[in-house]
Chains A and B, each alone.
Chain A
Amino acid sequence: MILKDFRAVIRSNIREYGMYIALLVIMGIFTITTDGVFISSRNIANLLNQTGYIAVLAIGITLVIVIRHIDLSVGFLSGFLGALTAIAMTAWGFPVWAAILMALVMGTLAGLITGFLVAHVGIPAFVASLAGWLIYRGALLLVTLKTGTIIVPNDAFNAIGNGYIPDIFPAESSFLPELHKLTLLIGFAAIVWFVLQSIRDRKDRQSYGFEVLSRDMFTLKLVFISIVLGLISWVVAGYNGMSWTLAIVIVVVVVYHFITTRTILGRHIYAVGGNPEAAELSGISVKKITLWVFGSMGLMCGLSGILFTSRLQSATTTAGTLFELDAIAAAYIGGVSSAGGVGKVTGSLIGAIVYMSLTSGMNLMGTDISLQYIIRGAVLVAAVVFDVTTRKAKS
């Protein structure tokens, strides 16, 4: 009976679970081929830190693709903003917080400019953002012209991309000596919050007389997700604990997930993506939504630039090269559709992790870079083929 329920739930949600299954399979393969090095806490920590700057771009661009546009300028915009942050701290004497704030504000403004050109002037997003790609690339070269690579000597800033959150108990204490206690505590708190929230949601739905998952399936789901969350925190806690990058990405995902699934703004974004004319006639300002989405994209570029500069502890003349294509690939692997109106930010996060897992795993295996590109291309196609075919089967 449970098994039958289980199959039915899996089958009707195959599209959603497909990506998680793919991620597990990829991780499994790499764990075997690298004799377990891949799944080691140290590697996973590195992997997540590397994913950070692509993940935030992928999340931003998901919404851009959902409303049927594209933004090619994001890579060099983030490179340019990263360089500006470095210059602000080294040459202009900005404190860290002011440099960060400046990058975020300027990113948002840049996004709003692209958005304005697309929404109000009516230039195709491809062209507007291609112009941005050229302009920000030039701007990046311009500001790094005199100095070349700019080294950032600020420890506080560099901790964003390389540091870890502090622990509440000293590492020497005899209680779970090898693990990061605060990370475990956060993981535990997340599990408790998730379980309580799920139970509340279920009760709420029942009180309205709506259909809910059967008790067995519901328990199974809670147990499964709790175990997954527990395992993730255990692995992460095994090597220095949660990094600042991971913490930032989690906050971004939570905020974006909340906005897209729960708020009016989120609903309006998906309505505009699903059918812009119907949305306009339903009283939604398509122009305003377009501005919002491009503005958020710019904000994410600022954040990505900060994460990348901090990760390298320096700003280089080529920072941001091809980030836009990595982000777009991650979003498509994560199930976003260019026809509009379809795609989740959580999907794009998983997409980014899948994409970076491939890089990380193949690097560990010593796979040649030429083959790496070919395999990443194949995975991208496979992901979209899976997405398209399951969607057909459903309708």
Chain B
Amino acid sequence: MTTPILEMKNITKTFPGVRALSDVSFRVAQGEIHCLVGENGAGKSTLMKVLSGVYPHGDYSGEIFLQGQAQKFNGIADSERAGIGIIYQELALVPDMTVYDNILLGHELKSGLTVNLNETIKKATEMLKKVRLDLNPSVKVRDLGVGKQQLVEIAKALSRDVRILILDEPTAALNEDDCDNLLNILRGLKRDGVTCIMISHKLKEVIRIADTVTVLRDGQTVCTLDAARGEVSEGVLIKHMVGREIDDVYPRRTLKISDEIVLQVRDWTVYSHGLGRSLLTNVNFHVHKGEIVGFAGLMGSGRTELARSIFGNPDGFRLDGEIVVKGQKKSFSEPRNAIESGIAYASEDRKKNGLILIQDVKQNITLANLRALATRSVVDANGESKVAEEYRTALTIKTPSITQKVLNLSGGNQQKVSIAKWLFVKPDVLILDEPTRGIDVGAKYEIYTLMNKLVDQGMSIIMISSELPEVLGMSDRIYVVSTGRITGELPATEATQEKIMQLATS
């Protein structure tokens, strides 16, 4: 066997009270696409932070070799110099700067004391060509979609002459088209001799693109699988990731949908002053009691805007149309009104606008319904703890205590806290926007089970999801949204991935 381009040997990294990595070994061959999979908290991101020098040498034990040579990185600058580029899940672009400025940020091309603008634009254009992104490098990053921003980020890494490119969940926020595009570009980079390490939760992608897959579990290497030898399949990966087999990704339930319509939205049109155009036009839909309604569509099709405009319109869009809740016409001027009428919305970005990260589990769970715990506006602290403990048990939120800051919880458990907050409000209609984004297989299953239990108890759920299998697996009825219009309504029994994709792109 030839010398691997990268070899990490016996890496152990501990945080106060936790051993995040124990004795992990990881080999990557020259020019391959190597995927790193594992549940949340398995240690993938920590391992990549060790590699990229975020945790400097001496902060961990073990050795790193690049093409056989031992490396001691004291910071990201060191690893960058050695040809390692890392792209984080949260994009590190400056939205109000141009694409070319972003690509060469920190490595500006100078002539004398000033930045050489022409060279910068030329270099940026070259890099954009490598990621097959055809756009004017003078536009601001803010004006690009997430998919294109992701590509700009890759172009930025390439401008540093990377030999090893690390991508941490690059497709988490992308729609199917952008995903495909990204995977193709990775294949192209591979042909150019760039080695890629990709962390991903989306196993289907991993199967499509990986040459080799390494599975981590609880901070240890479980195995390394070779795709060429046919060792990689979804079942095998899941088995290694969770240490058990999940026969059915989507738990079954007995249907108990009543004829009663709890929410009806008619001729809903949403206009954004900021963008100067309509985001949604003449949308009609309804939700029965005890039903899970899926909203499928591409990123940017208007699903989140639909949910938010119904949920008290915090963005201040101009609205037209009517909302009928349990037979009564309603209009909400802020989220509070919507909540009072029995509608709840768990946002798609739990860190940004779902949770208060610096507050603890208990405060987050009770936030939306403190009134229920208060007498004359004074909150009963003990009653609050009791409620929080109940939800912690019911939703199996893994936390050392309810006074732990939400900041310190894993993604799946944060999501459970965010759902618990709405369960305490006891809504009639719960809107879940991307409820399983960025969380691991085990936690997904738990959230699906919970959703089933809730509709069983008579709650209705609207689920917005970009993962088609999830929409198909969980929904009773599916609406497909495309460029601000509902382009189709399908009962779950008739829906297929192909049909949905066709409607979503129509």
Contacts and interface: CB of A to CB of B under 8 A. Distances in A.
Interface of A: 204-205, 208, 210, 262-265, 267-268, 270-271, 274-275, 277-285, 341-342, 395
6 tightest Cβ-Cβ pairs between the two chains A and B: A277-B353, A274-B356, A283-B336, A282-B368, A283-B339, A275-B356
Nearest to B311: A281
Contacts of A208: 382, 385-386
B359 interface: yes
Secondary structure of the B contact surface, majority rule: helix
A282 B367 contact: yes
15 contacts: A205-B382, A210-B382, A210-B385, A263-B374, A263-B378, A263-B379, A270-B359, A274-B359, A278-B352, A283-B335, A283-B339, A283-B368, A284-B336, A341-B359, A395-B408
B336 A285 contact: yes
B371 interface: yes
B466 interface: no
B416 interface: no
A282 B345 CA distance: 9
A264 B363 CA distance: 11
Nearest to B339: A283
Given A208-B385, A264-B371, A341 B358 contact: yes
B502 to A, nearest CB: 33
A283 B386 CA distance: 22
Interface string B176-202: 000000000000000000000000000
Interface string B145-156: 000000000000
Nearest to B384: A267
Contacts of B356: 271, 274-275, 278-279, 341
B377 A265 contact: yes
B95 interface: no
B161 interface: no
| B336, B345, B356, B357 — most chain A CB neighbours (10 Å) | B356
A81 B336 CA distance: 37
Given A275-B353, A342-B358, 9 more contacts: A204-B382, A210-B382, A262-B378, A263-B378, A263-B379, A267-B367, A274-B358, A280-B314, A280-B353
Contacts of A274: 356-359
Given A262-B378, A282-B335, A271 B358 contact: no
Nearest to B371: A264
Given A271-B367, A275-B356, A285 B379 contact: no
A281 B347 contact: yes
B353 to A, nearest CB: 4
A264 B386 contact: no
Interface in B341-399: 345, 347, 352-359, 363, 367-368, 370-371, 374, 377-379, 381-382, 385-386
A341 B364 CA distance: 13
Contacts of B368: 282-283
Contacts, number: 84
Given A210-B385, A278-B353, A264 B367 contact: no
Contacts of B335: 280-283
A275 B385 contact: no
B297 to A, nearest CB: 21
A207 to B, nearest CB: 8
A172 to B, nearest CB: 45
Interface in B261-287: none
Contacts of A342: 358
A284 B363 CA distance: 14
A369 B212 CA distance: 70
A271 B382 contact: no
Contacts of A265: 377
A262 B374 CA distance: 9
A205 B380 CA distance: 11
Nearest to B354: A278
Given A208-B386, A283-B368, A264 B379 contact: yes
B57 interface: no
B407 interface: yes
Contacts of B27: none
Secondary structure of the A contact surface, majority rule: helix
Given A262-B378, A265-B377, A285-B334, A278 B355 contact: yes
A280 B356 CA distance: 11
A277 B270 CA distance: 20
Given A204-B382, A210-B382, A395-B408, A281 B345 contact: yes
A341 B359 CA distance: 8
Contacts of A210: 382, 385
B44 interface: no
B405 interface: yes
B357 A282 contact: no
Nearest to A339: B358
Contacts of B407: 395
Contact of A277 (B336, B352, B363): B352
A395 B378 CA distance: 30
B477 interface: no
B421 A282 contact: yes
B314 A395 contact: no
A278 B336 CA distance: 12
Interface string B411-455: 000000000010000000000000000000000000000000000
A283 B422 CA distance: 11
B370 A275 contact: no
Contacts of B358: 274, 341-342
A283 B357 CA distance: 17
A205 B386 CA distance: 10
Given A264-B377, A271-B356, A274-B356, A281 B405 contact: no
A52 B4 CA distance: 70
B408 A275 contact: no
B374 A264 contact: yes
Contacts of A280: 314, 334-335, 353
Interface in B319-336: 334-336
A270 B386 CA distance: 21
A213 B291 CA distance: 47
Contacts of A281: 311, 314, 335, 345, 347, 353-354
A63 B363 CA distance: 18
A273 to B, nearest CB: 9
Nearest to B338: A283
A263 B367 CA distance: 12
A262 B380 CA distance: 8
Contacts of B340: 283
A265 B379 CA distance: 10
A285 B337 CA distance: 10
A275 B368 CA distance: 13
B249 to A, nearest CB: 29
Contacts of A264: 370-371, 374, 377-379
B481 to A, nearest CB: 21
A257 to B, nearest CB: 13
A134 to B, nearest CB: 30
Contacts of A284: 336, 367
A223 to B, nearest CB: 24
A291 B234 CA distance: 54
A267 B363 contact: yes
A277 B351 CA distance: 10
Contacts of A271: 356, 359, 363, 367
Contacts of A275: 353, 355-357
A274 B406 CA distance: 12
Interface string B283-318: 000000000000000000000000000010010000
A281 B357 CA distance: 15
A280 B313 CA distance: 10
A339 B345 CA distance: 26
A74 B311 CA distance: 37
Contacts of A263: 374, 377-379
Given A283-B336, A341-B358, A267 B378 contact: no
A283 B405 CA distance: 21
Contact of A267 (B314, B338, B379, B421): B379
A208 B389 CA distance: 11
